[in-house]
Structure 1
Amino acid sequence: MAQYKLYGDQELVQLMQSGDERVLVEIYDRYWDKMLSVAFNRLGNQEEAEECVQDVLYKLWNLRHDFSLIKVELSNYLARGIRNQAFNILDRRHRERMKSEGYAPAEDVNLLSPERALMLRELQEQIDNSIAALPPQCQLIFKLSRQEGLSNKEIAEKLNLSENTIKSHLKKANKDLRDNVKTLTTAIFIYTLFQ
């Protein structure tokens, strides 16, 4: 078992594709704490956060034969998986609350029409492109903060920088993202206003 700790993420993914279950145990050991932290930050509930992490790891294992890491680190892939699964859990939580309060949406209303789904995909794509366009250190700090859920202090310690430098990079990243996404969000707002 100790040999798996020496492997990089690319090697683990290749071994996982062959069905080696010990790889999933290594990924679990390596990333569980970070994934749980990100999930808990989004959900605020320990049980749901644990469920979220387990679901992401389960999905990763089910996709193992087709899964590969191209231009993305495993930690980033897992953080994105946690984010998406947390959104699903929050959506389910919201629907259950609405149902318990007696709210029932009209049957013929499609809340996520194909047009809206396309707009959301385009918005996510533009956000991803905007993040990729950030300067390398700014991009790294933004990802550590937003995708991995690290605090400014944790990022400062990890990168051996001051907290003020971290705050400055995050401020720049937020401004750049806001500026890059503003046009598309305005268009989406106008479109939904007149639908």
Structure 2
Amino acid sequence: MKSQTDLFLENFYYKNADKIFSFALGFLKSKEEAEEAVQDIFVKFWRQRDQIKDIEAYQGYLYKIAKHHLLNCIRKKAKDKIKYYELENNLKSFQSVEGQYIFDELYQQANDAISQLPPRRKQVYELKRNEGLTNRQIAEKMNISETMVEKHWRLAVSTIKDYLQLAEGN
């Protein structure tokens, strides 16, 4: 049986989830990212709920968590863009024979990592990376949930990174 606090928090979620989603969408400009952010925000809120002494403060505290989380998301997106552009610029600077050799070797290692992915994970990776499909489009095409698409994507990227780090160590 749920406690009064748990019932209150459940109702609080249903009352505020759409508002937080709209708030997140305004920051992130992506429905998928906003949906994920809402989940993360409420998980953080749930974990910190014991720190809130006054029930009237719940909504303000929720928005404070949301604001900090969304700013962190934006910072991460900016860092990722900077890393992408730095990588792109570094790749453009591979004019020498030695640079081309290193690039070709890294490219081959990445392709080796991708080829070793489980079939569904590989398919999700290729649809997203090569064809530029959204999570929703991939989910519809593969007849799986968007959550599973995101899970396959994260695992694929993580596996490829691990593979490349191992290859770099050799």
Q: TM-score with structure 2 length normalisation?
A: 0.44
Larger Rg: 2
Higher relative contact order (CA 8 A, sep 6+): 1
Return the structure number with greater helix share. 2
Q: TM-score with structure 1 length normalisation?
A: 0.39
